[in-house]
Structure 1
Amino acid sequence: MRWQFMRGMAIMVFAVVLVACGGSSTSSSSSSSNQDSLPSINLAANSISVNVGAGQAKNINTPYVSVTICQPGTSICKTVDNILLDTGSTGLRVLASTITSLQLTQVVVNNAPILECASFISGDAWGPVKLADVKMSAEVASSIPIQILADPSYSTIPSSCGGSQATQISNTLKTNGILGVGLFISDTQSYFNCVPTTLNNCRISLSLSPNLQVQNPVSAFPVDNNGIIIKLPSVSANGASLITGSLTFGIDTQANNSSSGSYVIPTNSSGLFTTIFNNTTFTSSFIDSGSNGLYFPSGNLSSVLVNCSSYSLAGFYCPATTQSYLAALTLKNNIQGNVSFSAANAKTLVASGNYAYNNITGQIGNNLFDWGLPFFFGRSVYIGITGRTSNAGIGPYYAYTY
């Protein structure tokens, strides 16, 4: 998801069709599911299924995974479905209503609970930080900080996090949570040290050590902790109703996660790299599975890449005919890698009733190029975590293969 400015630069997925509400079941010590659950496939012990389909949100280009959350050191667990897989943010955030059977340990500093205000362009993610064991397939991140959204014990939002006027992610997300598996280990967002009765007196900009901040679960795995690989099949120009791929943990740590032959994109410390498109250099480029389109300024193409007139498609491009383009990415050793993509009419695509598209594009601010979910179709995309080493290099970096 495109956060405020990398360390997550995210915009929430546009709701281009009617959104259906739902939630995971609440039985403990077992796997939970609901009528909106998507299929899974048999994978290696360091991989889980990724589905792009209607799911719970009924939004286009939304990648879903399932995550098991446990009370630390116990077998009391909940598997929560319909969690958004997001390479543009850091850490697990889950709705309180999906884990009501769990008693997670509150992170406390100076005898007061820690709460987080994580800022997205479309709103704020407000809620307490608690410790949990996070399990995906055979991988376990033990006793790491996660954020609980829409926790009824902390329903009052302090003015420093937008107060009563704040747009909360928990009200707009329409999924059960966000799994942030981006380039960073901790999320470096705003933290508060306060008690529920005095929320408006919370101290903002709390100097919180990185290990107490919301953590990228992958970075806490015992072995496969240096990054991830997302592999999604190709999609036709007309889209697909459902596709299933994989999320594999680790890079060059096992036989199934080799980076051999990949095109490596080093980033700066903020996770940004350079894209050259339409004779323009975009130095603030990033790869983000939580963005449901490819987003870039139309520039001198504005007469062709016209904005969609429909309110529900605001921000998307609706060209009269499908446009084909070529962009160049700055790869390792300053080599350029060419990437072709198409921009189709978003209104026509969405009318098909499908949910996975490789040619949805839209508007974003100057100097930004957001390689959203369409970039992932037909590729294996690597996310190298900051400070961690693989054959592809030392993170942060992106990489891809066809």
Structure 2
Amino acid sequence: MTTSNRHYVLAAGGTGGHLLPAFALADELERRGHHVALITDERGAQIPGKPDFMPAHVLPAGRFGKNPLQWIKGLMAVLEGRKMALRLFESFQPSAVVGFGGYPSLPAILASTSADIPTVVHEQNAVLGRVNRLLSGRVQAIATAYPDVQRLKPAHRGKVHLVGNPVRAQVLNLREEPFPPYGEDGLLRVLVTGGSQGARVLSEVVPDGLAMLPPAIRQRLQVTQQCRPEDLDAVRERYRNHGIPAELATYFEDMAARLADAHLFIGRAGASTIAELTAVGRPAILIPLPIATDDHQAFNAREMAKAGGARMIRQENFEAKELAKQIRVLADDPQGLSNAAHAAWNCGRPKAVEDLADLVESFGGADMMDVIRVGGNNARGATQGQVAGQGAKKLSAKRESAE
């Protein structure tokens, strides 16, 4: 698809889960010849992986917790951020603004919708997040990573475009690689991670669960596990006592290569984790984070589990004996493990970043853009995108009213 050079603003919360898909979209839009700017908070500006060509604008966002006394302070921060976003839009003249959720995206989306700039939100999880839920009635399109998204109002389903969750190029490049050979006499390589900081429950349960496997399986184990810094020595001692070879670290720079070699993944069910597992096709035992907002990690895991690519264990049931039971079922059946890998692969959406970029490009584009279809829905960009020019004319007026 050939389009004219345009400007886009991406707004994302200050966590990797929100920002990594934004970075992937920025790379794709820049490859297509567009200019891209990022709006986030101070924490988000420090997340590794931001493309060098994309300037980051740090705006106040505010947070709205359980304490009502903090709401006024949060609201004032959001309003200040909205004014700053309007000033940025006046100079940058974006054809569209794309929100990836999180409180730091709120001021930018409030500014873009008030200025009639076409706006898209991308939801990485299987439950519509709080900010995206709040704004879903004001935006032109809702891009989703799952076919079934909870907390989405029926009135807004016509805006939904199933695109998937963009993943890193290093991971996506592994999609056509075969599942590592696994037989009854070969190594069983297990990869264990618990998010950016590890998960203590995995450090406590996984070593003992692996130790409960029959000797014929236990002797073939090769474990790679990410741990919190304070847990490393204790976990290393557990594996040593069990006689299980394990490589432990707080962070693995070559995580894509580790995933490529793995026969089985054990860990949380964050959106980025699920996207990478399904992109590569790796069977998993998933333990959703019990305190995740709206229990979204459990909903994230359901599609993969229903397809046969994963087994989900709730944390209250995540004990060494149960883990050993689930691993043994998979390890005793090489063909079954391979089938689970293929089931996970079938859940992947490898064209997520391209489909999301197509959707975003459809706003502010020429009439020919109306033929674009994403996830079975017409992108409707030709008609909706026409408001981009109108919105630019309204920015000064909106900014003055905001101030």
TM-score by structure 1 length?
0.25
TM-score by structure 2 length?
0.25
Structure with the largest fraction of strand: 1
Name which one, 1 or 2, has greater alpha-carbon Rg: 2
Structure with the largest fraction of helix: 2
